[in-house]
Structure 1
Amino acid sequence: MTIDMNTLLAILAMAVATIATRQAGLLVGRLLQLSPQAEEILGAIPPSVLMAVVTPTAFATGWAETAGCAVVAFAATRLPLLPAAAAGVVTVATLRAAGL
């Protein structure tokens, strides 16, 4: 196996860009004072992105996946994103195991 230097440099550059972007976001986030309305709006973004990711699955696959997406949508209104996604995964696995 050989290592292509261009590929390695590209991967390292992407890693640096990702880390710099995240760190800059944390720095700016500490300096901003947001109103309660702005915090509420920003809090709605992660569940919205999650729904944008799982909705195509709900329409393009079987019943188990559609039910899993519905569980994720419901759970995302009450739970943080990781437990909501986990609930969807458990739903799909259970329904597939049941033969649906």
Structure 2
Amino acid sequence: MTLDLNTLIAILTMAAATVFTRVSGLVLIRHIEIDERRRTAIEAIPPAVLMAVIAPTAFATGWAETLACAATAIAARRLPMLASVVVGVATVALLRAAGL
């Protein structure tokens, strides 16, 4: 298997951009006072991103996926991100096994 130089450069550039955004967020957050309003907004980001990722699936596939997306959305309001994903995956697996 050979690796094209352009592909390698693209991979390294994307990795650098990812590291830069993560590190810059950590550096910048040290200079901002986190009050309750900002904390609430920051805590709402992971469930919002999760919903943005799974929402197209809810409308583009069958009933099992739509119901699993709804279950994931409900779970994301109370559970941590990983637990919400587990709920969604388990729900779609059970509904598919049930024939939906």
When normalised by structure 2's length, the TM-score is 0.89
Paired residues for 1:32-71 under 5 Å: 32-71=32-71
* Cα distance in 2 between the residues matched to 1:20 and 1:50: 22
Partner amino acid, structure 1, of 2:23: Q
* Cα distance in 2 between the residues matched to 1:69 and 1:37: 28
Shift of 1:91: 0.4
Measured on the aligned residues, the alpha-carbon RMSD in Å equals 1.3
The 1:83–1:36 alpha-carbon spacing in structure 2 relative to 1, beyond 3 Å, is same
* Cα distance in 2 between the residues matched to 1:39 and 1:5: 43
* Cα distance in 1 between the residues matched to 2:44 and 2:6: 40
* Cα distance in 2 between the residues matched to 1:87 and 1:34: 31
For structure 2, list consecutive stretches of 5 or more residues without a partner in the other structure: none
Partner amino acid, structure 1, of 2:74: F
How many equivalent pairs are there? 100
Map of 2:6 onto structure 1: 6
Map of 2:30 onto structure 1: 30
Partner amino acid, structure 1, of 2:8: L
Shift of 1:30: 2.4
Partner amino acid, structure 2, of 1:96: R
Runs of 4+ in 1 over 3 A off after TM superposition: none
* 3-state SS of paired residue (1:31): coil
